[in-house]
Chain A
Amino acid sequence: MTGEQIQTLFGLMLEYTVPTLKIFGFTLLYSIPLGMIVALLKMCRFKPVSWLTNIYILVMRGTPLLLQLIVAQYSVPYIVRSELCPGFLHALLDGVDIRSEEYMFNMMLFAFVLNYAAYFAEIFRGGIAAIPKGQYEAAGALGFNRFQTFFRIVLPQVVRHVLPASSNEIITLVKDTSLASAIPYMEIMYIAKKQVPTYASLLPLFMAGAFYFVFAMLLTLLLSLIEKASDPLWRRGVNEKRKELFRRGNA
Chain B
Amino acid sequence: MKKNILTRLLAGFTAAAMLTACAGCGNAQTAANTDTPAASDDSLQKVLDAKKLVLGLDASFPPMGFTNESNEIVGFDIDVAQEVCDRMGVELVKQPINWDTKEEDLNLGKIDCIWNGMSINAARAEAMNLSDPYMKNEMIFVVNASSGLKSMDDLKGKTVGVQTGSTAQEILEASDMYTDITVTPLEDNVTLLNQMELGFSDAVFLDSVVAYYFIAENHKDFYVLPGNLESEEYAVGFRKADQTLRDKVQTTLSEMKADGKLGEISEKWFGSDVTTVK
Query: Which residues of chain A have a CB within 8 Å of any CB of chain B?
Result: 5, 8-9, 12, 59, 67, 70-71, 74-75, 77-79, 81-86, 89, 98-99, 182-184, 186, 190-191, 193-202
Contacts and interface: CB of A to CB of B under 8 A. Distances in A.
Contacts of A198: 62, 66-69
B17 interface: yes
A232 to B, nearest CB: 43
A196 B14 contact: no
Contacts of A71: 13-14, 17
Interface string B19-51: 011101111111010000000000000000000
B204 to A, nearest CB: 13
Contacts of B98: 70, 182-184
Contacts of B146: none
A195 B59 CA distance: 10
Leading 9 A-B pairs by shortest Cβ distance = A84-B26, A194-B67, A77-B108, A197-B190, A200-B218, A82-B28, A197-B60, A71-B17, A184-B96
Contacts of A8: 69-70
Interface in B58-78: 59-62, 66-71
A82 B71 contact: no
Contact of B25 (A9, A70, A82): A82
B27 A82 contact: yes
A84 B24 contact: yes
A193 B25 CA distance: 38
A79 B66 CA distance: 33
A82 B21 CA distance: 13
B101 interface: yes
A194 B14 CA distance: 27
Contacts, number: 112
B223 interface: no
Interface in B172-191: 188-191
Given A8-B69, A82-B27, A184-B98, 13 more contacts: A12-B70, A74-B104, A78-B14, A82-B28, A83-B26, A84-B24, A98-B108, A98-B110, A99-B54, A197-B61, A197-B67, A197-B189, A201-B194
B18 interface: yes
B193 interface: yes
B13 A197 contact: no
Interface-central residue, A85, A186, A190, A197, by most chain B CB under 10 Å: A197
B18 A200 contact: no
Nearest to B21: A75
A74 B68 CA distance: 29
Nearest to A5: B69
Contacts of A84: 24-27
Contacts of A98: 108-110
B259 interface: no
Contacts of B217: 200
Nearest to A99: B110
18 contacts: A12-B71, A70-B101, A77-B109, A82-B18, A82-B28, A84-B25, A85-B22, A86-B24, A89-B22, A89-B25, A98-B110, A99-B95, A99-B109, A197-B60, A197-B67, A197-B188, A199-B69, A202-B194
Interface of B: 10, 13-15, 17-18, 20-22, 24-30, 32, 54, 59-62, 66-71, 95-98, 101, 104, 108-110, 188-191, 193-194, 214, 217-218, 220
Q: Is the interface of A mostly helix, strand, loop or mixed?
A: helix
Contacts of A200: 190, 193-194, 214, 217-218, 220
B59 A194 contact: yes
A76 to B, nearest CB: 9
Nearest to A16: B71
Interface-central residue, A9, A12, A78, A89, by most chain B CB under 10 Å: A78
B22 A79 contact: yes
Contacts of A59: 20
Contact of B69 (A9, A67, A182, A184): A9
Contacts of B101: 70, 74
A202 B26 CA distance: 47
B32 A196 contact: no
Contacts of B67: 194-195, 197-198
Contacts of A12: 69-71
Nearest to B17: A71
Contacts of B194: 200-202
Given A98-B109, A200-B217, A78 B13 contact: no
B59 A78 contact: no
A224 B67 CA distance: 40
B226 to A, nearest CB: 24
Contacts of A81: 28-29, 32
A86 B108 CA distance: 20
B29 A83 contact: yes
A188 B86 CA distance: 32
Nearest to A197: B190
